[in-house]
Each structure stands twice: as structure tokens, then as C-alpha cells.
């Protein structure tokens, strides 16, 4: 096969995320291109066996370049009735459906709100159904270890993983090594998981339950050293790299929030790189501490998800007024209010643009892939420190938790940027400006650089508190102008797809993979469609108006009710066709193709 898509699904305690991650790492190590979509339950402790408690992990692995975790899975592994109910509608017709039949008890069927057993009523006839007593088989496999029934139950995910390794000709060594390392201090648990993995593989091999096994050859990727990387891991590594490039320590002030918490975890793990992490008592304390770090000359970062940005808004406005370089990471999730914490959305764009009182512009960036989270983390700090301005970095739950093979860059290929602090001088003017309209970065304690700072309007040059109308106009204009001028310091908007296209498909952020794949599909069918994807949103690239003017038809697709579309219409006076989705799920490629075909 050129590619295959598997979805593992079960209770939140069934280890589906671990199982999917092991298959992902093994496939990446094998040399496949990969794209993943972990789907977490929103409830921390949803009742076992219920649909709200279902956890899923989908992986698309391929012999060619891919950009999405796949639309419909070819294989669904369902550990219980709730997992089946939550996912079976997505499985392709004729797809392989592997079910743990031991879990289909009257109690579990009732929890999943099945009136009759779907294994017996013919509702699954359109699939290649393989019911398997996974729980019992796992218990037999691990019996020599003498572990308890409860502990044995927890090993069934590795039994299922072994089956999938056989089905797709994967090597077990990477997972066996991981088991040895993970459970090395608990010998009986280590041996049980090892036996379960081997038993699953050998069971599939010897019982001939599958008519076929499949091979997905390695992809022809650009030569280099690769690792599997999620967006949250990538953005953390990017921030650390920015710190090393700048030669300044990194400070991260954060309050735990899904789906941004992993960035705090990752940065805390790397404190030996000079990273200082502060888990604050609330969102306000987190951002205020980061502003203090920026004032003190550090690379200052705060991170959260949408509800946290609401709480940080007043302090972010303080960073606008004081013109300090602050990076604000927003790993977006479905809202409003608490919304759906583990589901993805792109609904915080206008919040980043306008969610503060007064005229208070910030730079807004949006990486498009997990790997781009690394490069845009560096870019956020480059722009923040060069222009002395707060920068929003808009990730989302989809790319934050999704993984792809990431080519580790050579140090020589990393961008260069230098940090320049104000030096000791007489008659220091804290709000004088250079040719970028950036004010000096004056580190406290430097002789001669004493100055006032705070949230009240500043007088031009002196920084004294000012209520002069003309001065307020001037300072407001300066703050807006320096953000607008950044368009001359960023790449132009690039077009992909048919160069003679009449239709342009436009998106931003984490929707890139689905949109790019849809354009590829349309081009293969001979349809004149091109795509443009915004990674720089405030300011837009300098050539945006010229690019948009080339096309007869512009389609804007985004995971909200039209926020990018609103900005494009407001700034460029264009007419658009729109495809919006707010279901807590990313776009499926087929949704975009169907929309374009209908258009």
C-alpha cells in the first residue's frame, strides 16, 4: 500500500495514546512519512465505558509526502462498545474492524446506549469485522508473570499493538526497548507488557485471522536526521533555540491549561539550557511575571489557551504600552468560555487582533504544521525583540498534539538575530526610536538608564506620563506604524497548486494539511485551483492585495465562523466564498473537495 490509516480507540484508561505513539515512532523510525491526530476525552474522569470517556489516536503513514492524518481510517481498533459507537461512522466501507469482543457485555452495551449487540445485528456487515477476545488472550499471555487481573487488563493495548505490527510488517524492537526502559524498575510489569506485545504479533501470525498482511514502504524523504515531533514539543524546542541564538535566558510564565500544558512540561524538562519556568497561581500572575522578565532583559514568554488569553488581556495591553518584547503562545481550543478543552478550533484570531482596550496592535503569527511550530517560535522572538512589540503565536490543539517527521536542522541554517540593549548614556530618552520605530531596551541596573515605566500614556522621547492630545495621537500612530512596517521584514504570500488557476483556496494556521491536499486532489482531476496559506496575519504579507487580485473566485476555509474572512474583506475589499466548521474537529479533505466541486 502507498499509505494506510489506523485509528486506535478505547477508554481513557486503555492506553490508546500510548499505543498510537508507539506505532507512530516505529513507523517514523522505519522511514514512513507520518501524520497523527490524538483525540482526547474532554472529561478528566468520564465514566468508564461511556462515549464521553472515549480516547482515540489516528495515524496516517505513507510511502510518499502526506499532510493530514487521513480522512477515513482503513483500520479501526475498538476496545469496547463506546469506542465502536464513537468511531464506526468514520471507518471506510470495507475497512478492517478489530473489536475486543470480551468488552461487549450487557453492562458495557448499556453504558454505550446500544439496545442490541452490534456484533450480532448485522449493522457491521459493510466492514471486515474481526471480533477477538483481546482481554482473555492478554490474560493468558501474561499469566506467567503472576500479575493481578487489573494489571493484566492494562496490557491489552500492547496485545493489540502487536497485532497491528504484524498486519503492517512493523519491527517490534523499538517498542520492546521502550518497554524495557519505561518499566525497568518494575520487572513483572515490564515482562507482562513484553509478553503481550509478542503474543499479539505471534497470534496474528499463526492463527491466520487476516487474509492479507500489508507493507507500506519507506518514504523518499530529504536526507538528514529525523525525529517524530508534536507541535507542542516543536514550539518548546523553538523557544529554547531562540534563547541560545540570542544568548539570553528564556523565562516562561504559565498556568496549566489544556492543550497548552505540555509546553510547560517540555520547557521545565530543559532547565539545564537556562530555561526558567514559573507555574503561576493564575493566568494574570503568569503574564505579569513574563512582562517583568522582559523588563529585566530576558526572552519573555507566556502561554495558554483561549480562556487564558481573556484573563491575560489587560496585562498584554501593559506590554503594548511599555513596548516590551513579549511572546504570547495561544494553543487554541473550542470555545466560548471553557468550551471543549481537548477539541481544536481557530476562534481566537480576532481576540489576538483586537482583544484589548484602545488601539493596541500586536504582531500575530500562525504556524501551519507541527514542524513549523519550531521555526515560528524563533520568528516570534526575532520580531518581538527587533521591534519591541508583543507577538501572538497562534497554534491550535490539532497541530499541538499531532506529530510528523521533523528534519533536525543544521545549526548553520538557523536564523540569525541579535539582541541589542541600550548602553549607559547621559540624557537617556526611553521612548526615542530607531529606524524600525523600536524604542531602546533598557535593562534595569544599567547606570544612566533610569526611566519611568507603566500603563499610563508615555510622552514621546522622555517617557514621562502624558495627557497631551497631540502626544497620544503621535504615540498611537507610532505603535501602529511599527507593526505595519513589519510586512517589509517577512516573506511574501506564496501560492501553491495550478499556476493558471481561477480559484484560490485560502486558509491559515493548522488547516494547511487538509487544504493543501485538497488542492493537490483538484489539480490531479484537471481542475484549476490554487492555494494560499497565511502564516503572518498581523501584518499581512506586503504582496497580499496583489495576490488576491489575480483570482476570479476566492474561497476562505477556517475552523471558526469567519474571522480571517472578516479581516481579508475589511482590509482588501474582496468578495469570498466561505467554508466554516466549528465541530471541535479538523477539516476532512473530502469536505473541502465536496465544497469546491459544488462551487
At 8 the three-state DSSP class reads strand
Per-residue pLDDT of the chain (599 residues; tens, 9 = 90+): 999 999 999 998 899 999 999 999 999 999 999 999 999 987 877 888 999 999 999 999 999 999 999 999 999 999 999 999 999 999 999 999 999 999 999 999 999 999 999 999 999 999 999 999 999 999 999 999 999 999 999 999 999 999 999 999 999 999 999 999 999 999 999 999 999 999 999 999 999 888 889 999 999 888 899 989 999 999 999 999 999 999 999 999 999 999 999 999 999 999 999 999 999 999 999 999 999 999 999 999 999 999 999 999 999 999 999 999 999 999 999 999 999 999 999 999 999 999 999 999 999 999 999 999 999 999 999 999 999 999 999 999 999 999 999 999 999 999 988 899 999 999 999 999 999 999 999 999 999 999 988 999 999 999 999 999 999 999 999 999 999 999 999 999 999 999 999 999 999 999 999 999 999 999 999 999 999 999 999 999 999 999 999 999 999 999 999 999 999 999 999 999 999 999 999 999 999 999 999 99
State the CATH architecture for 495-598: 3-Layer(aba) Sandwich (3.40)
Q: Provide the CATH topology of domain 227-413.
A: Rossmann fold (3.40.50)
Q: Domain residues of the chain, as ranges?
A: 3-207, 227-413, 420-489, 495-598
Q: Helix, strand, or coil here: 36?
A: strand
The radius of gyration of the chain's CA atoms, rounded to the nearest angstrom, is 26
SS3 for 279-308, per residue? ECCCHHHHHHHHHHHHHCCCEEEEEECHHH
Strand 363-365 with 536-538, pairing: antiparallel
Upper half-sphere CA count for residue 84 (Cβ side, 13 Å): 26
Residue (of 305, 342, 346, 351) closest to 538 by Cα position: 351
Fold equal for 3-207 and 227-413: no
CB hemisphere CA count around 409 (13 angstroms): 13
- Per-residue cell: 428: 537617556
Q: Does this model's pTM top 0.85?
A: yes
Domain range 3-207, CATH class: alpha beta
Residue 413 DSSP symbol: G
φ, ψ of residue 283 to 5 degrees: the values are -65, -35
**Beta carbons within 8 Å of 395's beta carbon, 6+ residues apart:** 231, 232, 235, 329, 330, 331, 332, 366, 367, 373, 509, 510
Amino acid at each position: 500500500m502507498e499509505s494506510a490509516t489506523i485509528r486506535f480507540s478505547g477508554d481513557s484508561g486503555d492506553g490508546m495514546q500510548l499505543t498510537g505513539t508507539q506505532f507512530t515512532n516505529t513507523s517514523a523510525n522505519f522511514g514512513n512519512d507520518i501524520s497523527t491526530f490524538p483525540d482526547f476525552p474532554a472529561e478528566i474522569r468520564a465514566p468508564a465505558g461511556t462515549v464521553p470517556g472515549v480516547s482515540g489516536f489516528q495515524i496516517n503513514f505513507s510511502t510518499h509526502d502526506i499532510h493530514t492524518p487521513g480522512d477515513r481510517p482503513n483500520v479501526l481498533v475498538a476496545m469496547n462498545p463506546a469506542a465502536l459507537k464513537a468511531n464506526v461512522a468514520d471507518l471506510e466501507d470495507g475497512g478492517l474492524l478489530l473489536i475486543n469482543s470480551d468488552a461487549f457485555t450487557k453492562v458495557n452495551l448499556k453504558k454505550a446506549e446500544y439496545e442490541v449487540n452490534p456484533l450480532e445485528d448485522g449493522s457491521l456487515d459493510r466492514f471486515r469485522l474481526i471480533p477477538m477476545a483481546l482481554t482473555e488472550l492478554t490474560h493468558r499471555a501474561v499469566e506467567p508473570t503472576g500479575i493481578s487481573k487489573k494489571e493484566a487488563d492494562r496490557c491489552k493495548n500492547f496485545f493489540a499493538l502487536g497485532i497491528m505490527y504484524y498486519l503492517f510488517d512493523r519491527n517490534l524492537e523499538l517498542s520492546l526497548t521502550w518497554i524495557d526502559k519505561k518499566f525497568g524498575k518494575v520487572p513483572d510489569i515490564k515482562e507482562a507488557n513484553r509478553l503481550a506485545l509478542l503474543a499479539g504479533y505471534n497470534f496474528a501470525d499463526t492463527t491466520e485471522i487476516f487474509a492479507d498482511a500489508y507493507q507500506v514502504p519507506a518514504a523518499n524523504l530529504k536526507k538528514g536526521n529525523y525525529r517524530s515531533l508534536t507541535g507542542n514539543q516543536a514550539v518548546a524546542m523553538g523557544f529554547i533555540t531562540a534563547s541560545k541564538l540570542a544568548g539570553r535566558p528564556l523565562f516562561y510564565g504559565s498556568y496549566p491549561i489544556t492543550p497548552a500544558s505540555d509546553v510547560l512540561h517540555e520547557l521545565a524538562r530543559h532547565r539545564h539550557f537556562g530555561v526558567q519556568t514559573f507555574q503561576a497561581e493564575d493566568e494574570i500572575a503568569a503574564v505579569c511575571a513574563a512582562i517583568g522578565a522582559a523588563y529585566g532583559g530576558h526572552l519573555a514568554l507566556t502561554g495558554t489557551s483561549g480562556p487564558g488569553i481573556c484573563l491575560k488581556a489587560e496585562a498584554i495591553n501593559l506590554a503594548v504600552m511599555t513596548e516590551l518584547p513579549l511572546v504570547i503562545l495561544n494553543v487554541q481550543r473550542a470555545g466560548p468560555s471553557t468550551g471543549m478543552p481537548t477539541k481544536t478550533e481557530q476562534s481566537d484570531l480576532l481576540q489576538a487582533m483586537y482583544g484589548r482596550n484602545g488601539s493596541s496592535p500586536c504582531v500575530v503569527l500562525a504556524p501551519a504544521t507541527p514542524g513549523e511550530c519550531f521555526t515560528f517560535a524563533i520568528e516570534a522572538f526575532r520580531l518581538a525583540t527587533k521591534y519591541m512589540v508583543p507577538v501572538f503565536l497562534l497554534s491550535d490543539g490539532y497541530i499541538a498534539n499531532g506529530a510528523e517527521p521533523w528534519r533536525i536542522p543544521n545549526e548553520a541554517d538557523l536564523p540569525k538575530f541579535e539582541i541589542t540593549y541600550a548602553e549607559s548614556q547621559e540624557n537617556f530618552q526611553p521612548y526615542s526610536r530607531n529606524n524600525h520605530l523600536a524604542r531602546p531596551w533598557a535593562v534595569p541596573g544599567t547606570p544612566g538608564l533610569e526611566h519611568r515605566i507603566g500603563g499610563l500614556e508615555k510622552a514621546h522621547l522622555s517617557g514621562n506620563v502624558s495627557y497631551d492630545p497631540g502626544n497620544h495621537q503621535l504615540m498611537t500612530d507610532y505603535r501602529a506604524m511599527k507593526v505595519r512596517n513589519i510586512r517589509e521584514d517577512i516573506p511574501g504570500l506564496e501560492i501553491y497548486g495550478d499556476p493558471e488557476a481561477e480559484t484560490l483556496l485560502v486558509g491559515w494556521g493548522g488547516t494547511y494539511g487538509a487544504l493543501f491536499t485538497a488542492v493537490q486532489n483538484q489539480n490531479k482531476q484537471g481542475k484549476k485551483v490554487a492555494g494560499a496559506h497565511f502564516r503572518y496575519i498581523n501584518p499581512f504579507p506586503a504582496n497580499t492585495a496583489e495576490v488576491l487580485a489575480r483570482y476570479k473566485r476566492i474561497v476562505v476555509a477556517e475552523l471558526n465562523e469567519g474571522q480571517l474572512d472578516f479581516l481579508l474583506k475589511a482590509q482588501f475589499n474582496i468578495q469570498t466564498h466561505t467554508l466554516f466548521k466549528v465541530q471541535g474537529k479538523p477539516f476532512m479533505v473530502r469536505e473541502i473537495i465536496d465544497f469546491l466541486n459544488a462551487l
